[in-house]
C-alpha cells in the first residue's frame, strides 16, 4: 500500500525552506528571495510518486514581531507542528565559536543560538511527531566540516530530550544533493493511506494567490536593499477574456502596497522604469504559470498601517483566526 501524509518545514528566516520545497516537488510554487521573511503564510505543495504522496507545508521563518503580520507569521509556523505527520527542521551548516574562556567541550554548545531556538520548538512537538533535522546548503561548506556540525546538533537533541535524533539529512537544494535521500526518509515516517489530492495537483494555492506572490517576489528581488520588507501585493482584478484574434488573455490589476511616500517613488523609479521592470519580470512568470498571455497593470499605493490592518491582511490571504492572536 502507498503512503500519504503531511510534512511541515520549519526554520529561521532565510534558511532556504521555500527553495527546498520547490526542489522536492520539482517545480516552483513558493516564492524565494535572499531577503528573510519572504514566505508570509503557509504554502501547501504536493509531491506524488509510486511510493505515495507527500503534502508539504512551507511556513514563514520563526521570528517574533510586534505587528499583526509578524504575529500571524509566527503563529502560522507554530500551528503546523500540531497538524502533521512529520516535522522537517532546516538549519544552516554553521557552528558558533566557543568562548575563549570556556572550559566546556560539549559539542552541543556550538549550535548557534538562533538555531537552538528553532530546535527547541521542535523538541516540544517531538513526543507526538517525529522530527528530521535537515542541514541545508551543504554545498557552501567543505565536506570535512559537516561531521562536527552533525555531531553538534545530535548532541544538542540528546542533551535536551534524552533521546537520539530520529534522522539527520544533509542536502543542497541548489545543487539537488541529498534530495532523493530526503524523500526516502520522509516516506519512511509517513502512515499508509490513500492520496489526499489528485496525482496531477501540485499546490492548494489558487492562481490569484500564486500570481500575487510572483509579483511580490519580483519586487523584492529588483528593489534589493532600497525598500525594506514592508511591501505587499493585492490583486484587485483577475479576469480571462478572448481577444479579437481568438487568443485568450488574462487581465490582472494589482496594487503594490508600501508604508511610506519615499518608498513609492523608489518602487515606481525614474520615469516608471522600476515598476516596468517588476511588471515585465512578473508577467513572464505568470504567463508560464497560467499558460496564456497576461495583461498586467501595477499600481503603487501607500498604506502606512497595512501590517496592522486585520481586514486588509485577510484580503491578502492571511488566516483570520491567526490574525486575532
Reported as a single tens digit per residue, the pLDDT across 166-213 is: 899 999 988 999 999 999 999 999 999 999 888 888 887 788 888 888
Measured N-to-C along each axis, helices 146-161 and 113-125 cross at an angle, to the nearest 10 degrees, of 50
- Mean pLDDT computed over 41-55: 84
Q: For 162, how many CA atoms within 13 A lie in the half-sphere containing its CB? A: 1
pLDDT above 70 for 91: yes
* Among the listed residues 299, 295, 253, 258, the one whose alpha carbon sits nearest the alpha carbon of residue 275: 299
Cell of 64: 517574533
pLDDT on residue 28: 63
CA pair distance 158, 155, nearest whole angstrom: 5
Query: Does the structure show a pLDDT above 50 at 32?
Result: no
Q: Is the pLDDT of residue 10 over 90?
A: no
Q: What is the pLDDT of residues 112-164, one digit of tens each?
A: 888 888 888 788 766 788 889 999 999 999 988 889 999 999 999 999 988 88
Q: In terms of C-beta density within 10 A (0-12 exposed, 13-18 middle, 19 or more buried), how is residue 283 classed? A: buried
Q: Tens of pLDDT along 58-83?
A: 765 444 445 445 555 555 555 667 77
Predicted pLDDT at 79 = 60
Question: pLDDT per residue over 253-286, tens digit each?
Answer: 999 998 888 889 999 999 999 999 999 999 998 9
**Would you say 30 and 44 are in contact if contact means Cβ atoms under 8 Å apart?**
no
CB 123 within 8 A of CB 161: yes
Name the residue among 255, 258, 209, 268 with its Cα closest to residue 229: 258
Please, which pLDDT band fits residue 41 given cuts at 50, 70 and 90? low
- Three cell numbers written together for 133: 533535522
**104: helix, strand or coil:** coil
Alpha-carbon dihedral of residues 198, 201, 207, 213, nearest 10 degrees? 140
| Termini Cα distance of the chain | 41
223-247 pLDDT tens trace:
876 665 678 888 999 999 998 888 8
Average pLDDT, the chain: 81
Residues 110, 93: contact at Cβ < 8 Å? Answer: no
Q: Other CB atoms closer than 10 Å to residue 126's CB: what's the count?
A: 19
Q: Kindly report the backbone phi and psi dihedral angles of residue 269, in degrees, each rounded to the nearest multiple of 5, phi listed first.
A: 80, 170
Q: Please enumerate, as own/partner, the contacts of 225-230 that have beta carbons within 8 Å and a separation of 24 or more.
A: 226/266, 227/258, 227/263, 227/266, 227/267, 228/259, 228/263, 229/35, 229/36, 229/37, 230/258, 230/259, 230/263, 230/306, 230/307
Q: Label residue 17 by pLDDT band (50, 70, 90).
A: confident
pTM score of the predicted model: 0.67
What's the whole-number mean pLDDT along residues 42-51?
Answer: 84
Q: What is the mean pLDDT of residues 16-26?
A: 83
pLDDT value of position 37 = 42
Amino acid at each position: 500500500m502507498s503512503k500519504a501524509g503531511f510534512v511541515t518545514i520549519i526554520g529561521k528566516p532565510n534558511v532556504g525552506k521555500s527553495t527546498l520545497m520547490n526542489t522536492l516537488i520539482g517545480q516552483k510554487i513558493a516564492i524565494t528571495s535572499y531577503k528573510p521573511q519572504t514566505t508570509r503564510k503557509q504554502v501547501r505543495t504536493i509531491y506524488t510518486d509510486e511510493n505515495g504522496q507527500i503534502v508539504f507545508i512551507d511556513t514563514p521563518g520563526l521570528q517574533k514581531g510586534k505587528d499583526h503580520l509578524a504575529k500571524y507569521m509566527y503563529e502560522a509556523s507554530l500551528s503546523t507542528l500540531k497538524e502533521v505527520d512529520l516535522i522537517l527542521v532546516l538549519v544552516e551548516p554553521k557552528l558558533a565559536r566557543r568562548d575563549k574562556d570556556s572550559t566546556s567541550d560539549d559539542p552541543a554548545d556550538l549550535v548557534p543560538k538562533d538555531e537552538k531556538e528553532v530546535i527547541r520548538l521542535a523538541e516540544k512537538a517531538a513526543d507526538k511527531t517525529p522530527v528530521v533535522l535537515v542541514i541545508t546548503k551543504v554545498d557552501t561548506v567543505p565536506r570535512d566540516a559537516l561531521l562536527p556540525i552533525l555531531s553538534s546538533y545530535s548532541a544538542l537533541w540528546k542533551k535536551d530530550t534524552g533521546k537520539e535524533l530520529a534522522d539527520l539529512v544533509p542536502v543542497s537544494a541548489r545543487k539537488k544533493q541529498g534530495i532523493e535521500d530526503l524523500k526516502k526518509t520522509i516516506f519512511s515516517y509517513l502512515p499508509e493511506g490513500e492520496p489526499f489530492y489528485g496525482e496531477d495537483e501540485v499546490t492548494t494555492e489558487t492562481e490569484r494567490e500564486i500570481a500575487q506572490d510572483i509579483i511580490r517576489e519580483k519586487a523584492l528581488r529588483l528593489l534589493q536593499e532600497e525598500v525594506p520588507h514592508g511591501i505587499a501585493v493585492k490583486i484587485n482584478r483577475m479576469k480571462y477574456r478572448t481577444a479579437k484574434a481568438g487568443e485568450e488573455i488574462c487581465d490582472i490589476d494589482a496594487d503594490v502596497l508600501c508604508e511610506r511616500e519615499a518608498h513609492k517613488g523608489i518602487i515606481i523609479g525614474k520615469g516608471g522604469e522600476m515598476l516596468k521592470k517588476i511588471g515585465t519580470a512578473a508577467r513572464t512568470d505568470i504567463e508560464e504559470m497560467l499558460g496564456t498571455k497576461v495583461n498586467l497593470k501595477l499600481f503603487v499605493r501607500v498604506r502606512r498601517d497595512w501590517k496592522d490592518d486585520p481586514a486588509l491582511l485577510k484580503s491578502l490571504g492571511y488566516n483570520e483566526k491567526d490574525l486575532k492572536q
